[in-house]
């Protein structure tokens, strides 16, 4: 059984994140969406809200589990017996950072492989930070996020 971890802040989870998750779920026996409880980013949603939204948005994918984490992704992978870390790449500009991260992760745990997946072309421009910015200005983000996330963003910015 091959378990993969897809770590991120998911603030909020976008249709691009969901697309990457579906692609990963088709490749691996189990995919753990690891929602980072990071202090380095100023998140809009709390860790509990982000886990709840991701759990609801991805609830139809049977081999996906959503959990919070506050550790190195490589340590979480070891703890969960995962052999793969999934990372989404939207554009060439993402690759340099992700390539460096994959190399660092390999140094931290050589038993873990990083797999890069790309979202559907119509989702390649979607980022959580752009979604938050558009929503903060009362823009329509329904093309980029699930209706549950649209409602949660409206609540945050009302």
Q: Return the active site residues.
A: 17, 41, 90, 128
> How many residues belong to the chain?
158
Cβ partners under 8 Å of residue 69, min gap 6: 7, 34, 35, 36, 37, 76
Nearest Cα to 87, choosing from 6, 2, 3? 6
């Amino acid at each position: 059984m091959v378990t993969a971890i897809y770590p991120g802040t998911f603030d909020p989870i976008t249709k691009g994140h969901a697309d990457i998750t579906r692609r990963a779920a088709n490749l691996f026996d189990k995919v753990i969406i690891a929602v980072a409880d990071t202090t380095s980013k100023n998140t809009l949603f709390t860790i509990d809200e982000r886990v709840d939204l991701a759990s609801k948005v991805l609830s139809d994918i049977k081999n996906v589990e959503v959990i919070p984490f506050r550790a190195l992704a490589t340590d979480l992978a070891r703890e969960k017996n995962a052999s793969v870390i999934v990372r989404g790449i939207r554009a060439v500009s993402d690759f340099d950072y992700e390539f460096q991260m994959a190399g660092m992760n390999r140094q931290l745990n050589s038993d873990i492989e990083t797999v890069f997946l790309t979202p559907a072309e119509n989702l390649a421009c979607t980022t959580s930070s752009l979604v938050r910015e558009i929503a903060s200005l009362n823009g329509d983000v329904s093309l980029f996020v699930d209706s549950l996330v649209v409602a949660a963003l409206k609540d945050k910015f009302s």
